[in-house]
Amino acid sequence: MAFDLNKNDGSAKETSNKTPGTSKFDLTKGETAGTTVPGNSSSSKNWIIALAGILIIGGGISYYSTRSAKLGEPVRASQELVLKDTSSTNVAEAQAKLGAGIASTKPRPESPSATTEPTIATTVTESAETVPAQPEEVSSNATAVIKRLNNKVPATFAQGSASFSRIDQSLIKQITSYLSKNPASSIQVNGYASSDGPIGINQTISQARADAFKQYLVSKSIDENRVLATGKGIENPIASNDTNAGRKKNRRVEITFP
């Protein structure tokens, strides 16, 4: 079936210089239709192939982009860790440097001046020369007193008794004065007896006489721990026991300073 779409009739063909074109469409399934359809089908196939290629390329690009992003995450994480470690190291180094700077700015203790040391040395030297002088003087006086008082007899006793028959008050004053001035010193008191009577009784009496004199010194404000009392019996007589006068002298106490 064919349609003629020309608006003019045959007169138009005479007045127009244009080449007459075909304005008819043949809807039949003849030769004209057979030659037109294959051209359109080939063009559609080309567009479909091109579109498919674009989709494939786009999908590939998207896939590789996503994969690259995923693979890049561990790298970025490791880079962040490296940066953090580096920053912490830098902070530690900065703090160390800051601490060193603060320490260097602290004032150092001033060393003693050269003028101070000789002064101290001089003071010590003067003290060493001055202080021992007094103990030496006391020691010499004490030595003289000890020599004068050693083995003196401050008291004698009645026969067979620990009661005093005589006390040398002058000697007692010297003893107590020395002990008061020398609180670190002590005194030894030895008690004696004559040869009258048994030796055992004489030993007991001699100890009682030494203890009696010790208590007498304690009554003069002498610490009892500073007084050592010992009974010597009939040892070391100062007179003959053959006479009454000699035996009377032997009933005594003697003092010494250790």
Q: Are residue 167 and residue 66 in the same domain, yes or no? A: no
Q: Which residues contact 202 (CB under 8 A, 6 or more apart)?
A: 193, 194, 195, 196, 233, 234
Q: Which two tokens stand for residue 39?
A: 């051209």
Of the residues 83, 106, 136, the one at which a domain ends: 83
**Residue 35, domain member (yes or no):** no
Q: Which strand (E) or helix (H) includes residue 65?
A: helix 31-105
Q: What pairing do the DSSP bridges indicate for beta strands 227-231 and 252-256?
A: unpaired
Q: Are residue 158 and residue 252 in the same domain, yes or no? A: yes
Mean pLDDT of 19-25: 48
Distance CA 208, CA 213 (A): 9
Q: What pairing do the DSSP bridges indicate for beta strands 24-26 and 152-157?
A: unpaired
Residue 195's domain is classified under what CATH number? 3.30.1330.60
Give residue-wise pLDDT tens across range 192-222: 999 999 999 999 999 999 999 999 999 999 9
Distance CA 239, CA 244 (A): 10
99 pLDDT higher than 80:
no
Cα 33 to its chain centre, rounded Å, is 111
137 pLDDT higher than 50:
no
Round to the nearest angstrom and report the end-to-end CA distance of the chain: 168
**Residue 188, domain member (yes or no):** yes
Q: Which two tokens stand for residue 181?
A: 């001035």
pTM score of the predicted model: 0.47
Instruction: Give the range of the structural domain holding residue 204, as residue numbers without chain letter.
Output: 144-256
Of the residues 83, 113, 132, the one at which a domain ends: 83
Q: How many domains does the chain have?
A: 2
Do residues 196 and 253 make contact, with C-beta atoms less than 8 angstroms apart? no
Distance CA 116, CA 50 (A): 104
Give residue-wise pLDDT tens across range 40-53: 556 777 778 888 88
- Give the closest residue to 151 by CA, choosing from 199, 196, 180, 190: 190
Q: Are residue 149 and residue 230 in the same domain, yes or no? A: yes
pLDDT at 89: 53
